[in-house]
Structure 1
Amino acid sequence: MRYQTFTLGLLLLTMYACGKKEEKKAKMTNTDTMSCESSLPSRFSATNNTNSISESKTVSYEGMVQIPSGEFLMGASDDEGRQDEYPQHRVKINAFWMDATEVTNAQFEKFVKATGYVTTAEIKPDWEEIKKQLPPGTPKPDESLLVAASLVFTPTATAVDLNDASQWWRWTEGANWKHPQGPKSDIKGKENYPVVHISWDDANAYSKWAGKRLPTEAEWEYASRGGLIDKKYFWGNEDPEKGKPKANIWQGKFPYLNMAKDKFAGASPVKSFVPNRYGLYDMAGNVWEWCSDWYTPDYYKDLSRSIATNPKGPSKSYDPMEPTVPKKVVRGGSFLCNASYCKGYRVTARMKSSPDTGLGHTGFRCVADIK
């Protein structure tokens, strides 16, 4: 079993699609890329061995939508995109199937019951394995950190420094997909909510069991656009807080005042908002969604040299903010995204996170090839 650690001042969990106010593209450099979750509480995480999950040879297309083949412009064309959303480039995508909704608690529970799978957040880290990946002499952390746990969002009482995410994230023992707010919480009555506290490894394991896979980043953006050309959001260019609520996002002053005009202060049941033109729900807001791609900040530059056909991402990850930590791409934004702090619900917005990381606003959906 492979282990990775993320500890304050050593390896920061970074999800940079969120941040302070959007920078103008012309002014941005690699060092301008802010992390919306830097300065997190110290955390240690264990990684599951998903090789124990057998890949299903059959696929149920129930609850899936067939996405037509096509060609589109991927990436940002306006001045709101971050540096790694440029240059905009042309991509061809084959037709494929995609889950109409994020994977729900009920669906994930069925998987767990069938396989006995234990998620990353439910495994106590092993210090003897962890320290093999750390510099010699790294002191052993307090035993209170070496527990099965995950990061839980806790709103602050007042305005705080938005560069210090440790003020609203809490390393919470006993938090996992069955207990999203900690051991005293549960998912009773929330069978139709998206499953959260899911690492990439967990999402990949579920996908294999279902005979599906995680979407490539290109497939995700193509499907999210729903056939619209060069629009900021999956519904067009209208601000999400104008008119009828279009997605589950943070409405108010992050991270201490959520007006919940969309009627949800946290995650919402799937299908609570109007789908995009392909019939896909929650392609903006609610919970972040894992993609299959490794992350690099300049991958789009490589793709822009010619028309890319079904790109699957770089062969390996590199994040200049954390060069030693491999990252996977996450898309779509969450219920914590707010225009003053995070516009991760933009259709081109990219986020990155280590494969063994799960949080209270991260889930996934699957895709399947047309055979």
Structure 2
Amino acid sequence: MKYITFSLLFFLGGCALFKPSLHSQLEPLDMTFVEGGTFVMGDVIEEENDDSLPLHKVTLSDFYIGTFEVTYRQYDAFASATDRELPRDDGRGRGERAVIFVNWYDALEFCKAYGYRLPTEQEWEYAARSGGKEEIYAGTVDPDSLDYVARNKNNSGGYSFLVGTKEPNGLGLYDMSGNVAEYIGEYYPFYKTDPDSIDYYPLEERAMRAIRGGSFNQQDNVLRTYWRVGVLAELENHTIGFRCAVST
């Protein structure tokens, strides 16, 4: 990705003073290109999860999505540049750990600072499933392989971990299942019974947001690529982080 930076020019007494742009103060994000396509969204594995039914086709254009979950190092740079309070870390360290204790609005503003946004739910699921494949977890079709691709309750402590410590999925994306659950750009309360007319409520009319992917302290079912959870947009929790996306 190419970044365009801007400087504000002030003239004081004939001297030109430059104020560093916000973009120049931020830590870079590693973004992965995702070629668009058509896939069947929802519980394609067992067709039993009511929140993820009915199955329905979705067509997406090309986009980019964060290769990793946003880290404390990256968020701290943003918070310092915008005079925001730093999110707490519970004494577990900061650096390359997936950032937590941020709400949906914080996540959105972070992404907007880069000219990005939060991924849509369709983009997130398509990317997690390595481009719409029938993967039960991000990076594997084998339920017994969960520990190789995801931080979860059976192989982790009670806190977020360094990003990228497990194997990536087929697109080279890390921690789409596990480590921290991830805020999504819109909240869709349910899939309508008519699969040709999925009913998505306008974002401004809903107090809820979706999180996807499950976290380090959750069982395997929540880490499935189709699993959907709704939370309040204001929630700041030790299990929830995010990654950014952008259209091409």
Short-chain TM bin: 0.7 to 0.9
Deviation for aligned residue 1:221: 0.2
Q: CA RMSD in A?
A: 2.7
Residue 232 of structure 1 aligns with an amino acid whose one-letter code is: I
2:183 to 285, 290, 294: 290
2:119 to 200, 215, 218: 215
Residue 245 of structure 1 aligns with an amino acid whose one-letter code is: Y
2:79 and 2:85 in contact (8 A); partners too: yes
1:305 to 171, 193, 196: 196
Deviation for aligned residue 1:208: 1.2
Report the counterpart of residue 148 of structure 2 in structure 1.
Answer: 245
CA distance, structure 1, for counterparts of residue 44 and residue 127 of structure 2: 18
1:285 and 1:334 in contact (8 A); partners too: yes
Answer yes or no: is 1:335 the counterpart of 2:239: no
1:296 and 1:317 in contact (8 A); partners too: no
Report the counterpart of residue 314 of structure 1 in structure 2.
Answer: 201
2:38 to 51, 67, 71: 71
Answer yes or no: is 1:99 the counterpart of 2:99: no
Deviation for aligned residue 1:230: 2.3
CA distance, structure 2, for counterparts of residue 347 and residue 81 of structure 1: 14
Q: Could you tell me the TM-score, scaled by structure 1's length?
A: 0.56
Deviation for aligned residue 1:351: 0.7
Answer yes or no: is 1:369 the counterpart of 2:247: yes
CA distance, structure 1, for counterparts of residue 192 and residue 42 of structure 2: 8
Gaps of 5+ in 1: 1-53, 120-176, 252-259, 319-324
CA distance, structure 2, for counterparts of residue 265 and residue 118 of structure 1: 23
Residue 196 of structure 2 aligns with an amino acid whose one-letter code is: R
Matched length: 226
1:333 and 1:344 in contact (8 A); partners too: yes
CA distance, structure 1, for counterparts of residue 48 and residue 162 of structure 2: 29
2:135 to 223, 231, 237: 231
Report the counterpart of residue 256 of structure 1 in structure 2.
Answer: none
1:199 and 1:356 in contact (8 A); partners too: yes
Report the counterpart of residue 169 of structure 2 in structure 1.
Answer: 276
Deviation for aligned residue 1:61: 7.5
2:27 and 2:74 in contact (8 A); partners too: no
1:88 and 1:300 in contact (8 A); partners too: no
The change in CA–CA distance for 1:225 and 1:55 in structure 2 (over 3 A counts) is farther
Report the counterpart of residue 230 of structure 2 in structure 1.
Answer: 352
Percent of residue pairs identical: 29
Q: Could you tell me the TM-score, scaled by structure 2's length?
A: 0.81
Provide Cα deviations, 1:328-361, integer angstroms capped at 9, x if missing partner: 111000001114xxx2110000011111001001
CA distance, structure 2, for counterparts of residue 289 and residue 103 of structure 1: 10
Gaps of 5+ in 2: 1-20
2:83 to 108, 113, 116: 116
